[in-house]
């Protein structure tokens, strides 16, 4: 399941929509990126996201804070962006460091600017099918499954990993699409017996080559949401690809869809905030 081509299509649509927003309002959509400290991987991610924005006609405003920044200061910075009418989306690059209350920082993002889908309001929106933005990786995975016409209704999906921005929201999005969803994690006893029952397996644990071919039912759909150092996924592609019906590569699978979702949601947020004419052909992410 190549993610590059469908991601490109979404980004093209986002770029078109961004141009329309600019024409209608004289303002380009603007994503604020907030980075605390100088973790090299985070610096790279943010730089890459900003470059993709620029190519799609989305402005970005970068806020670089020193590693010593405290929770209160970070919350103030994000709140100011939430109130700034020139900013339409806010991305706080995580992790933010153990001395910061990440949840407090996330919650300072206004729901209508939460294009990365990290607030509790966005999580509830995904869970209850309300208006709101998806967490980008789960949203990208669901778009990818739709692109490959993977029918979710009634299918058994095993989500391995339960983080607040990946496993948990993804399970809720799959559940909203009528999959039977099992959340597995580090305490799960006999993980293979569960994943081998599943029609769809999503690996989202952050451990390189954690999921093996032996974990997978022949013909199952395997989504690798892992991204470990050295471009290594959470799935052992070699053994898993011999069993899976469909499988995402790393890189080039989930990753591009994550970024495409971020861009599409930023443009969507700008269009909404600036009161643009609705565009039904634009691929809004619908939580429900």
Q: Is 161 annotated as a binding residue?
A: yes
Task: Tell me whether residue 189 or residue 281 sits nearer to its own copies (CB atom).
Answer: 189
Active site residue 49: yes
Q: Is 34 helix (H, G, I), strand (E, B) or coil?
A: strand
Contact status, residue 142 vs residue 173, Cβ threshold 8 Å: yes
> Is 239 within any annotated ligand binding site?
no
269 binds its own copies (CB under 8 A): no
The three-state secondary structure class of 91 is strand
Question: Nearest distance from residue 132's CB to its own copies, in Å?
Answer: 9
d(CA 2, CA 10): 14
Asked if 187 is part of the footprint of its own copies (rule: CB under 8 A), the reply reads yes
Alpha helices in the chain (DSSP H): 4-25, 40-55, 71-83, 102-107, 120-128, 136-147, 167-176, 191-195, 237-243, 254-273
Contacts of 72 (CB under 8 A, 6+ apart): none
Least distance between its own copies and beta carbon 18 (Å) = 30
Rule CB under 8 A: is residue 180 a binding residue for its own copies?
yes
Q: Is 93 a catalytic residue?
A: yes
Q: Assign 3-state DSSP to the chain and report helix, strand, coil percentages, each to 5.
A: 45, 15, 40
Which of helix, strand or coil describes residue 158? strand
* Three-class secondary structure of residue 250 per DSSP: coil
Q: Between residue 101 and residue 140, which ones bind its own copies under the rule CB under 8 A?
A: 103, 120-121, 123-125, 127-128, 130
The span of 31-39, 179-187, 211-219, 251-259 binding its own copies (CB under 8 A) equals: 179-187
Q: Which of 245, 265, 269, 267 is nearest to 257 (CA)?
A: 265
89 near its own copies, rule: CB under 8 A: no
> Under the criterion CB under 8 A, does residue 217 sit at the interface with its own copies?
no
Query: Is there binding between residue 188 and its own copies (CB under 8 A)?
Result: yes
> Is 178 a binder of its own copies (CB under 8 A)?
yes
Has 103 been labeled as part of a binding site? no
End-to-end CA distance of the chain: 24
**Using an 8 Å Cβ cutoff, are 277 and 255 in contact?**
no
Q: To the nearest whole angstrom, how small is the minimum distance from the Cβ of residue 147 to its own copies?
A: 22
Give yes or no for residue 278 binding its own copies (CB under 8 A): no
Interacting residues with its own copies between 138 and 177 (CB under 8 A): 153-156, 162, 164, 168, 171-172, 175
State which of residues 96, 145, 194, 225 lies at the interface with its own copies (CB under 8 A).
Answer: 194
Which residues of this protein are in contact with its own copies, per CB under 8 A? 103, 120-121, 123-125, 127-128, 130, 153-156, 162, 164, 168, 171-172, 175, 178-185, 187-189, 194, 197
User: Active-site positions?
Assistant: 49, 93, 116
Annotated binding site: 161-163
């Amino acid at each position: 399941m190549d993610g590059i081509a469908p991601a490109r299509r979404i980004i093209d649509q986002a770029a078109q929509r961004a141009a329309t927003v600019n024409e209608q309002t004289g303002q380009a959509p603007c994503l604020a990126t907030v980075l605390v400290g100088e973790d090299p991987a985070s610096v790279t991610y943010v730089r890459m996201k900003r470059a993709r924005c620029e190519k799609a006609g989305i402005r970005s405003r970068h806020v670089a804070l020193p590693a010593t920044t405290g929770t209160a200061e970070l919350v103030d910075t994000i709140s100011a962006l939430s109130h700034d009418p020139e900013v339409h989306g806010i991305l706080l690059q995580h992790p933010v460091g153990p001395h910061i209350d990440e949840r407090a920082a996330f919650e300072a993002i206004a729901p209508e600017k939460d294009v990365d889908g990290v607030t509790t309001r966005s999580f509830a929106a995904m869970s209850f099918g309300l208006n709101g933005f998806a967490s980008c990786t789960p949203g990208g995975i669901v778009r990818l499954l739709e692109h490959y016409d993977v029918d979710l209704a009634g299918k058994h999906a095993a989500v391995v990993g339960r983080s607040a921005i990946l496993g948990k929201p993804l399970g809720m999005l799959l559940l909203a699409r009528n999959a039977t969803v099992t959340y597995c994690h580090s305490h799960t006893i006999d993980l293979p017996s569960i994943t081998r029952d599943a029609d769809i397996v999503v690996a989202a644990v952050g451990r390189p080559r954690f999921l093996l071919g032996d974990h997978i039912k022949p013909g199952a759909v395997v989504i690798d949401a892992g991204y470990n150092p050295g471009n290594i996924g959470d799935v052992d592609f070699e053994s898993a690809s011999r069993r899976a019906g469909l499988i995402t590569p790393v890189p080039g699978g989930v990753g591009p869809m994550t970024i495409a979702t971020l861009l599409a949601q930023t443009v969507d947020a700008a269009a909404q905030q600036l009161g643009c004419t609705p565009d039904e052909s634009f691929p809004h992410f619908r939580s429900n």
